[in-house]
Structure formats: C-alpha cells, structure tokens
Structure 1
Amino acid sequence: MPWSWRLQGGDGEIVTVPGVPEETFATQADAESWLGLHWRELRDAGVEQVVLLEDGAVVYPMSLLDPE
C-alpha cells in the first residue's frame, strides 16, 4: 500500500509547496523519515499540518507548529 502526506494550511486547505513534489512511499517508516528531513521547509512555506495517508485513508494528523 502506498503511503503519502497531505499538506494543509491553517484552515485545512491543501497546500502545494513549490519545489516539493508530491511523493508516495513504500512504507510508513519511509514516509516518516522524509517528513523528518523536510518538516522545517514545509512549515516555512506555510504548511501548518500534515496528514499521513495509507492508500488514501487517514492514519494520523500532525501539527508542524511549535507548541504553545
């Protein structure tokens, strides 16, 4: 099953980040490793939340904002 991230802005809208192509991953670990490398770049581009998807089904959401 393919794994992917949905990138979202503050009001839940889908965000496209120039220079960051939509990718699919063979495993959850691959997807999470990719996010570990790119989360700061995504946050700086206006992504406030990411949602991990497995074959299109939501696995979990994660905020990229600093905790208050």
Structure 2
Amino acid sequence: MTMAWTWTFESSTGEVTGRSEEFDNRGDAESWVGEAFGELLEQGIDQVRLFDGESEIYGPMSLHAENN
C-alpha cells in the first residue's frame, strides 16, 4: 500500500490551517515546499510539518528566515 506524502500548513502557534496536495515520494514533497515557501508565507502560513500518510516525519519547520 502506497502512502501519500503531504505537508500540513500551520500558524506560528501550531494551529493547522491547511494541507498540501499529495506527493508520491518524500523527494517530490521536499522539492515542492522548497519552491513554494514564498507563496505559503504570503498566504500567512508560518510553519509546516511533513507526513507520510498519517505518520509525522518531521516538523514543525519554520518558513521564516533565521534572524541571527
């Protein structure tokens, strides 16, 4: 059984505000978020989490640049 890779979109407080389209593999999902993060920020999304089916792989990952 093939699981779909998806991103959940979250506010800075961790409230889930949406979910991405489904991807066939992790590489495609990670490539997509790398290309789309600017648009996601414009939509008010602060962070994302990567899921393989219902299993969280990692996150939250901030979409904001680190200010050092």
**Structure 1 residue aligned with 2:4, among 2, 8, 13?**
2
Q: Which residue of 2 aligns with 1:64?
A: 63
Structure 1 residue ranges (4+ consecutive) displaced by more than 6 angstroms after TM superposition: none
- Identical counterparts, % of pairs: 36
Distance 1:55 1:42 in 2: 21
Considering fraction of residues, name the structure with more strand.
2
Give me the TM-score of the superposition, normalised by structure 1: 0.84
> Per chain length, whose mean CA-contact separation is higher, i.e. which structure has more relative contact order (CA < 8 Å, sep 6+)?
1
Structure 2 portions without partners, runs of 5+:
none
Give me the TM-score of the superposition, normalised by structure 2: 0.84
Q: Which residue of 1 aligns with 2:22?
A: 24
Q: Which residue of 2 aligns with 1:45?
A: 43
Contact 2:9 / 2:20 at 8 angstroms: preserved in 1? Answer: no
For residues 17-66 of structure 1, give each alpha carbon's deviation from its aligned partner in whole angstroms, at most 9, with x where no partner exists. Answer: xxxx7311110001011111110000121111100001111101111011
Structure 1 portions without partners, runs of 5+:
none
